[in-house]
Amino acid sequence: MSSDDTNNVTPYRRRHVSETMIANWFNPDSSLTKEERAYVVRHLLTRCKRCTEIAFRIGTQIGILLPEDNDTIKLLGVEPPDVGTRRLLGLAQWAILRSVKDNVANFINAHSAFHHLGLYERLIEVAKLEMRRDPFRAYEAANLAIVVAHTLKLPTDELRNDYLATATATMGNAARLCANFTGAEMAFKAARALRENGTDDPLVDGLLYRLEGAYLAELGRYDEAEVSLSRALIEYSHAGDTHLEGRTLLSLADTAVYYDCLKASGYLGRANALIDPVREPILEFCSRHIEICCLVETNRPEVALDLLEESRDLYTQWGRHDMWVRVRGYWIEGRIAFGMAHYQEAESILSIAFETLDSEGRHPVDLTLIAVDLLQAIAAQEKRQADVIVFADRLLSLLKGIGLHDQGRAVMLLLRDALLRKTLDGVEWKIVKTYYRRNWYSPLPEPMRPFIK
């Protein structure tokens, strides 16, 4: 028996699956037979702890799986056998697609084995997991999900439209995070049209309303965002999915924290009673972060710091592999330090957040808001006027480079000139930050009133 045969021992010779066999299962060019590949699937579905941990470790090392997929792997064993089998097949097919060098959409269309619901589900999962970390990759995954949806053998066109609407709305959400708002608007319009000819599934309607609500909030249209998210809440209630109700309430809280912390706290309390941490473990972190933000916004930095210290494990757990979580942690800690009048410390922490997001280059609104917080921390220190000028000038150049409109750059120039004349109070800083949050993509109607007197 060759060494390869020893490593790829079949189920008839051993109970577990070897590491080499699992690595070969992920590799489309390996020598595994069809029967051996099927055995890997069957064995992983038995919830064998040893082998699922090996599969997760190897899949992560070679880049097929993401750290968050550990929860997906663990849940496979509790799925019905047909669902678990197709999900594992989707994982394997995604591994194969990652190695395709030519046009992936053409490859899918040309190979009927990839016309499979498990692959569609895997592509939607990848898009969701990559949304904040790499929205361009999320966009590509959602686009491939649309390709797969067109190939599925389904009983009705209405059901196909549901799958297409879900993937198209997911693509719109990715476009939003890529700051492609024209593309996002077009995707949501197409998703709505597909939904009109779908099965009236409330889960599909709820997803569309929820993602469109996030799009409206990003544009600073908070009232419209709240309406859209409230509609999503109604749809998820009709579907009887309390977890998605809780998830939507978290989105409502995350939006309201910028203009009504009392309302945000109410949403948060309701959300915590409904979300299922097993289905989406990261939501525990999201909930805690929103709570800390509410405390900061209501000028309770000491209480916010206590809760942040209690939550260090959550920030470490999710920030280890997710740059966006790390930036959130630095940003809120810097704001807490500022609220406690530790201005030099706030400057140091916010500088890390600013430089990290600046090098990443995919979140212009948050980069601008962190920059304003950092400028405020510098301006609060004595004898730092020269540094204020240097950083403000850097921001003027940066904002032009990332595509901010003329009015937004004029506001930064007004802010710079005002800081040379006087010390701004908290209300004036709040006005500037609210402007950039709500009007980064849509300038106020002319003539613009002065922000700072």
Q: How far apart are CA 18 and CA 36, in angstroms?
A: 12
* Residues in the chain, total: 453
- Angle at alpha carbon of residue 26, lines to 131 and 95, rounded to 5°: 35
Judge contact between 412 and 340, C-beta under 8 A: no
- Residue 261 is predicted with a pLDDT of 94
Q: How far apart are CA 20 and CA 22, in angstroms?
A: 5
- Residue 448 is predicted with a pLDDT of 58
Q: Report the interhelical angle of 34-44 vs 49-61 (nearest 10°).
A: 120
Q: Which helix (H) or strand (E) holds 238?
A: helix 222-239
For the four alpha carbons of 37, 40, 46 and 52, in that order, the dihedral sign comes to negative
One-letter amino acid for residue 318 of the chain? W
Q: How far apart are CA 244 and CA 202, in angstroms?
A: 11
Query: From its phi and psi, is residue 270 left (phi > 0), alpha (psi between -120 and 50) or beta?
Result: alpha
Cis, bond preceding 67 (omega within 30 deg of 0):
no
Query: Using CB atoms within 10 A of its CB, is residue 98 exposed (0-12), middle (13-18) or buried (19+)?
Result: middle
One-letter amino acid for residue 432 of the chain? V
- Residue 447 is predicted with a pLDDT of 56
What radius of gyration do the chain's Cα atoms show? Answer: 25
Predicted structure pTM score: 0.80
Judge contact between 50 and 117, C-beta under 8 A: no
Q: Report the interhelical angle of 49-61 vs 19-26 (nearest 10°).
A: 50
Query: Using CB atoms within 10 A of its CB, is residue 444 exposed (0-12), middle (13-18) or buried (19+)?
Result: middle
- Residue 452 is predicted with a pLDDT of 62
For the four alpha carbons of 328, 329, 334 and 336, in that order, the dihedral sign comes to positive
- Alpha-carbon distance values, 180 to 105, 173, 238, 323, 371 (Å): 22, 10, 32, 21, 22
One-letter amino acid for residue 320 of the chain? R
- Residue 12 is predicted with a pLDDT of 37
- Residue 5 is predicted with a pLDDT of 41
Judge contact between 437 and 258, C-beta under 8 A: yes
Judge contact between 237 and 251, C-beta under 8 A: no
- Residue 4 is predicted with a pLDDT of 44
DSSP track, 286-339: HHHHHHHHHHHHTT-HHHHHHHHHHTHHHHHHHHSS-HHHHHHHHHHHHHHHHH
Report the chain's terminal Cα–Cα distance, integer Å.
85
- Residue 3 is predicted with a pLDDT of 42
- Residue 9 is predicted with a pLDDT of 39
Cβ neighbours of residue 272 closer than 8 Å, sequence gap 6 or more:
246, 287
Judge contact between 170 and 190, C-beta under 8 A: no
Residue 257 main-chain phi, psi, to 5 deg = -60, -20
- Angle at alpha carbon of residue 126, lines to 122 and 131, rounded to 5°: 150
Q: How far apart are CA 193 and CA 435, in angstroms?
A: 33
- Tokens 């779908």 map to which residue? 198
List of the chain residues with pLDDT < 50: 1-14, 78
Judge contact between 290 and 264, C-beta under 8 A: yes
Q: Would you state the torsion angle of the CA atoms of residues 167, 170, 176, 182, taken in this order, to the nearest 10 degrees?
A: 20
**Quick one: tokens of 207?**
């997803």
Q: Which helix (H) or strand (E) holds 166?
A: helix 157-177
Judge contact between 29 and 55, C-beta under 8 A: no
Could you tell me which of 294, 282, 391 has the C-alpha nearest to residue 335? 294
